[in-house]
Structure 1
């Protein structure tokens, strides 16, 4: 699973479509926590992460939403700048 970004101890990944299922989403790992965030409305759809982590990932995903959606659709994975 390609790693898309890493910041503040948060790891963002995206699976290949062949292994995935709708809706378009990213995988979040923060310590022992794991969750999936869908890319349209940026809501957690599976798992859980602490509120601050969720807020940071949502902020980052809002900045890169178009790029993330395109990456899902084209399967052209590449690193995206972290939140600073």
Structure 2
């Protein structure tokens, strides 16, 4: 699972090559040993737990980069490594 972005101690990753188990386009965020899965389409929390402030930062980042994330999702579903995306600044 490659890291596609990093900001404020948060690592954002996306799986690739395993589209049968991952139907909803989403990213994984890790922060201080905790992790979440967040839907790309609407930023909703799918699973996991990280502090609220970091969750909101990831949701804002998703909102800003939604088109790039969907392009990365398509690459991931095709078994190709996704591109890196600019961090939240």
Give the TM-score normalised by structure 2.
0.87
Kindly report the root-mean-square deviation, in angstroms, between the aligned alpha carbons of the 2 structures. Answer: 1.3
User: Where does the alignment leave 5 or more consecutive residues of structure 1 unmatched?
Assistant: none
Shift of residue 21, structure 1, vs aligned partner: 1.1
Aligned match of 1:12:
12
Give the TM-score normalised by structure 1.
0.92
Name the SS for the 1:22 alignment partner: coil
Measure, in 1, the Cα distance between the counterparts of 2:75 and 2:28. 17
Deviating beyond 6 angstroms after TM superposition, the runs of 4 or more aligned structure 1 residues are none
CA deviations on 1:13-60 (whole Å, 9 max, x unpaired) are 000142641101000000121000011111110101110001100111
